[in-house]
């Protein structure tokens, strides 16, 4: 397949010479302004772009904004000899360009630069879009199972109880259920029961009538009412005070609420999804959570796996957040170094996906080279002594062994079969990595 190139030339000064010269064998599209280039790139991505008369483009158009929008394309600039003395051109080169040339262009060097940029662009190809709602990123088996569960529970209207460690994605899972349900057009109302002062929860959830308490100058609908036709997400449900647990149970049974200061029952059509980072059965056993409410809520239990249980997703997620928070990074920052990838894979992620987001965002600000380094993520590892590639390989091997053993119920024969190696090789690999069979 021919290599594809988008060429932007404000005048056709050199294009003809180039077309018959260094780029004669490329599939080239030529435009003379950025609006046309925008249209072409939106319709059809180009891995490599060539800017001819770059300074003229810089003077006449918002070239900086354009290059920010199209950072998946590798850009090569061509300047007139003295252009590069200008600060604006220097900034553009440092911030956006994979390489630059000055006129007169050396055709052989240009051909080499374009080929090189094309090779890199292929390696950095953006990953394929996610299959379903696109909300829950990840391809690990545990995430595939979670997405299947989300799709299943979204079809019905019964309460859902989501369990998962803090920051693992419980609220996002609830949003995915809502988005795929028949209530998707209705509101999604999240309530953090742990963050609300106990004396306010009742009035916040159930609303109040005028004069219900000192300061209630006007009647107000509560959060349950505001979720009418949609989904109410009760996060940290274990923190709900006991008296309110009784009220919530009544609401789940009767589908009606009474505002504070009123005895009038209001019918509300809301699906409840609750979540907790502690095992609620223990709270039930300890007498802190009503057993009847627990069984009402746990009709459809869903577990969100901790990030350390789906390590193969760490890099995918890191790259997802790198793209998501692209506006916060310097345009010259293009991705993660192999040492940063090794550090990401090595970390235990006690704060789960939220910790990963924070570390990536920190790195976007701290990194001053073209690649994120472990220290930018706050993950400097003293043990990165051997070659980074060997490190990544060893960690991946270790991870594959651990997961395969876990899947096979620590049955070595089954694990060896799954990995396509003999039992002897598997024992050798386990002993190399200090893993107990």
The 8-class DSSP code of residue 423 comes to H
* Contact status: 314 vs ligand ATP (CB under 6 A): no
Kindly tell me which of 121 and 146 has the beta carbon lying closer to ligand ATP: 146
Paired with 99 in beta bridges are 76
| DSSP string over 140-184 | SHHHHHHHHHHHHHHTS-S-EEEE--TTSSHHHHHHHHHHHSTTT
Q: Which residue has the tokens 């998707």?
A: 184
* Contact status: 358 vs ligand ATP (CB under 6 A): no
**Rule CB under 6 A: which of 270-299 touch ligand ATP?**
277
Q: By CB under 6 A, which span of 61-69, 95-103, 135-143, 370-378 interacts with ligand ATP? A: 135-143
* Contact status: 137 vs ligand ATP (CB under 6 A): yes
User: Judged by CB under 6 A, which of 97, 149, 171, 274 binds ligand ATP?
Assistant: 171
Residues contacting ligand ATP: total by CB under 6 A:
16
Structure tokens at 374: 């472990």
Kindly tell me which of 278 and 404 has the beta carbon lying closer to ligand ATP: 278
In the shown chain, the binding pattern of residues 24 to 43 toward ligand ATP, with x for contact by CB under 6 A and - for none, equals --------------------
* Contact status: 168 vs ligand ATP (CB under 6 A): yes
User: Judged by CB under 6 A, which of 56, 357, 363, 405 binds ligand ATP?
Assistant: 357
Supply the minimum distance, in Å, between the C-beta of residue 84 and ligand ATP: 41
* Contact status: 353 vs ligand ATP (CB under 6 A): yes
Kindly tell me which of 63 and 176 has the beta carbon lying closer to ligand ATP: 176
How far from the centroid of its chain's Cα atoms is residue 101's Cα? 36
C-beta separation of 289 from 245 below 8 A: yes
Q: By CB under 6 A, which span of 26-34, 163-171, 213-221, 407-415 interacts with ligand ATP? A: 163-171
| Percent composition of the chain: helix, strand, coil (DSSP 3-state, to 5) | 50, 15, 35
User: Judged by CB under 6 A, which of 83, 235, 376, 391 binds ligand ATP?
Assistant: 235
C-beta separation of 252 from 272 below 8 A: yes
* Contact status: 227 vs ligand ATP (CB under 6 A): no
Q: What is the largest CA-CA distance in the chain?
A: 86
Supply the minimum distance, in Å, between the C-beta of residue 117 and ligand ATP: 30
Structure tokens at 283: 């709270």
Residues 219 and 205: their CA atoms lie apart, in Å, by: 13
Q: By CB under 6 A, which span of 95-103, 133-141, 205-213, 242-250 interacts with ligand ATP? A: 133-141
What are the residues whose beta carbons fall under 8 Å from the beta carbon of 359, sequence distance 6 or more? 377, 378, 379
Kindly tell me which of 192 and 381 has the beta carbon lying closer to ligand ATP: 192
Structure tokens at 119: 């090779």
Residues 151 and 169: their CA atoms lie apart, in Å, by: 16
Supply the minimum distance, in Å, between the C-beta of residue 320 and ligand ATP: 6
Kindly tell me which of 98 and 272 has the beta carbon lying closer to ligand ATP: 272
Q: How many CB atoms lie within 10 A of CB 375?
A: 15
* Contact status: 70 vs ligand ATP (CB under 6 A): no
Residues 380 and 160: their CA atoms lie apart, in Å, by: 40
Contact set with ligand ATP (CB under 6 A): 136-138, 164, 166-172, 235, 277, 353-354, 357
């Amino acid at each position: 397949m021919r290599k594809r190139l988008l060429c932007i030339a404000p005048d056709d000064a050199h294009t003809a010479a180039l077309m018959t010269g260094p780029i004669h064998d490329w599939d080239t599209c030529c435009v003379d302004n950025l609006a046309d280039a925008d249209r072409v790139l939106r319709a059809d991505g180009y891995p490599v772009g060539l800017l001819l008369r770059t300074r003229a483009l810089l003077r006449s158009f918002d070239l900086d904004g354009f290059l920010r929008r199209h950072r998946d394309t590798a850009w090569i600039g061509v300047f007139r000899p003295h252009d590069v003395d200008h600060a604006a051109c220097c900034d553009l080169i440092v911030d956006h360009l994979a390489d630059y040339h000055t006129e007169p262009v050396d055709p052989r060097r240009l051909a080499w630069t374009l080929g090189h940029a094309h090779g890199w662009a292929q390696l950095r190809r953006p990953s394929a879009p996610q299959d379903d709602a696109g909300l829950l990123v990840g391809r690990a088996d545990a995430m595939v199972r979670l997405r299947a569960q989300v799709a299943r529970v979204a079809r019905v209207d019964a309460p859902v109880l989501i369990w998962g460690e803090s920051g693992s994605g419980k609220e996002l899972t609830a949003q995915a259920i809502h988005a795929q349900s028949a209530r998707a057009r209705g509101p999604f109302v999240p309530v953090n029961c742990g963050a609300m002062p106990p004396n306010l929860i009742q009035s916040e959830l159930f609303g109040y009538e005028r004069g219900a308490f000192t300061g209630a100058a006007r009647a107000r609908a509560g959060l349950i009412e505001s979720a009418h036709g949609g989904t109410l997400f009760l996060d940290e449900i274990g923190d709900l005070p006991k008296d309110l647990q009784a009220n919530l149970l009544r609401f789940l049974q009767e589908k009606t609420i009474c505002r504070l200061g009123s005895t009038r029952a209001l019918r509300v059509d809301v699906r409840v999804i609750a979540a907790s980072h502690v095992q609620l059965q223990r709270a039930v056993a300890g007498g802190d959570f009503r057993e009847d409410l627990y069984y009402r809520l746990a009709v459809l239990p869903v577990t969100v796996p901790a990030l350390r249980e789906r390590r193969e997703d760490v890099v995918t997620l890191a790259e997802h957040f790198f793209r998501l928070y692209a506006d916060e990074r310097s345009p010259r920052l293009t991705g993660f170094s192999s040492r940063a990838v090794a550090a990401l894979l090595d970390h235990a992620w006690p704060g789960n996906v939220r910790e990963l987001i924070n570390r990536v965002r920190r790195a976007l600000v701290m990194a001053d080279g073209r690649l994120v380094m472990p220290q930018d993520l706050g993950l400097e590892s003293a043990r990165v002594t051997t070659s980074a590639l060997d490190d990544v390989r060893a960690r991946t091997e270790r991870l594959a062994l651990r997961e395969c053993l876990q899947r096979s119920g620590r049955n070595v024969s089954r694990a060896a079969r799954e990995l396509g190696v003999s039992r002897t090789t598997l024992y050798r690999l386990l002993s190399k990595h200090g893993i107990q069979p």
